[in-house]
Amino acid sequence: MNTMKREQLSASMEDYLEVIYHLSDSGMVARSKDIADGLGVSRASVTGALRVLSEKELINYKPYGVVTLTDKGRVEADKIVRRHRVLESFFVDILGLDAITAKESACRAEHALGQQVIGRLRDYIEFITARVDGDIAVEFKQFYREKQVPDA
Amino acid sequence: MNTMKREQLSASMEDYLEVIYHLSDSGMVARSKDIADGLGVSRASVTGALRVLSEKELINYKPYGVVTLTDKGRVEADKIVRRHRVLESFFVDILGLDAITAKESACRAEHALGQQVIGRLRDYIEFITARVDGDIAVEFKQFYREKQVPDA
DNA sequence: TTGACAAGTTAGACACGACTAACTATATTA
DNA sequence: TAATATAGTTAGTCGTGTCTAACTTGTCAA
């Protein structure tokens, strides 16, 4: 029955997990230094976070050892990464925001929105993207450009 | 030249300011008790927050006195409330989420998204809402309903 | 006008997440 | 293989935001 721990991950811990996921993803082993660099945080902070994630059984971790995701950790990281991707896609493909703003905003908002909102957002992107009668993204781009410079 | 303090408000302080704004809005004086109830926080926490907001010159506050927004505070609160409203509107009017989920999500996301994203979102709502060729919100509602129950 | 209750404050504790400085382990390489 | 550089950990501190318990102030009704 899985002990039913209510332990929601904090935004910080989600960030750590996400970076570990991406580092593992790109073939490399997730090293403490890389995690620190990836999050702009001290190595000492990483050590603390690794202990927490390890206690929650989301990563395999021994002091001075390599860091890998457990199955449970991969599932969690997957959820986070998916949330991130949906948001980033929405910001770029629907709102037409630049890549940097989109990524930064997704990073911050991904911790604040639940599965219901993200799921609906995913549906919305699909819905808008799949429409055949006119390209709404293009039309919207024109709309807000005209708005920005009302009479230039 | 306004001392140019870079002091961004924390999410918590934004919440306090927002509640004070709404309490003042509805004619009443913002009492510590009401702020506490509004945020689901102890009265002691409110006292601490009021001191902080007072130091930042966002509220007028003396121990045991009434709390009112300064001009600067009203400007800040206004920004926060506007962000909140744009998000809530997006969640309800575009994504078709229920009022409760929309409000809760807006409360959490409003601290994570900057003016650029919120502004673009506002434009998007306007753009979609103003379209004459078909009601996209209604079409989308149909879309995700069919999606939820693929063959029921 | 005073006594009781409600509202507000203070003091002290705690959790979280970050930091620096100093130490230890591991790797590299001469 | 021994010296050294790099990576990782530990210990201790800090800021933020929360809490409870105890105290103070304010208010209102008898």
pLDDT reported for residue A4 = 42
Question: Residue A93 contacts by C-beta under 8 Å, 6 or more apart in sequence?
Answer: A125, A129, A137
Quick check: B84 and B62 in contact, CB under 8 A?
no
Closest of B62, B49, B47 to residue B17, by C-alpha: B49
What is the nearest CA distance from A112 to chain B, expressed in angstroms? 5
Closest of A64, A63, A58, A62 to residue A20, by C-alpha: A58
Query: Within 7 Å: CB of B145 and strand C?
Result: no
Q: Which residue has the higher pLDDT, A2 or B78?
A: B78
Quick check: A46 and A30 in contact, CB under 8 A?
no
Question: Residue B76 contacts by C-beta under 8 Å, 6 or more apart in sequence?
Answer: B9, B17, B58
Is the predicted pLDDT of residue B92 greater than 90, yes or no?
yes
Summarize pLDDT for B46-60 with one digit per residue, the tens: 999 999 999 999 999
Is the predicted pLDDT of residue B105 greater than 90, yes or no?
yes
Positive or negative torsion for Cα B139, B143, B148, B151: positive
Closest-approach residue (CA) in chain A for B107: A112
Distance in Å from D9's C1' to A36's CA comes to 14
State the best of A113, A115, A139, A142 to mutate against chain B, taking most chain B CBs within 10 Å: A113
Q: Which residues of B spanning 56-85 put their CB closer than 7 angstroms to strand C?
A: 61, 63-65
Is the predicted pLDDT of residue A39 greater than 60, yes or no?
yes
Quick check: B81 and B21 in contact, CB under 8 A?
yes
pLDDT reported for residue A7 = 74
Using an 8 Å CB-CB cutoff, list chain A residues near B117.
91, 95, 97, 101, 105
Asked if the C-beta of B123 comes within 8 angstroms of chain A's C-beta atoms, the answer is yes
Tokens of B23: 């309490």
State the best of B12, B101, B120 to mutate against chain A, taking most chain A CBs within 10 Å: B120
Is the predicted pLDDT of residue B90 greater than 60, yes or no?
yes
Question: Residue A131: what residue type?
Answer: R
Query: Within 7 Å: CB of A10 and strand C?
Result: yes
Is the predicted pLDDT of residue A3 greater than 60, yes or no?
no
Strand C nucleotides within a 7 Å radius of protein CB atoms: 6-12, 16-22, 25-26
pLDDT reported for residue A42 = 98
Tokens of B48: 């601490």
Mean pLDDT value of segment A29-44 = 96
pLDDT band at A151 (very low <50, low <70, confident <90, very high): low
Mean pLDDT value of segment A6-16 = 90
pLDDT band at A28 (very low <50, low <70, confident <90, very high): confident
Mean pLDDT value of segment B77-83 = 97
**DSSP codes joined into one string, A62-104:** -TTS-BEE-HHHHHHHHHHHHHHHHHHHIIIIIT---HHHHHH
d(CA A112, CA B109): 5
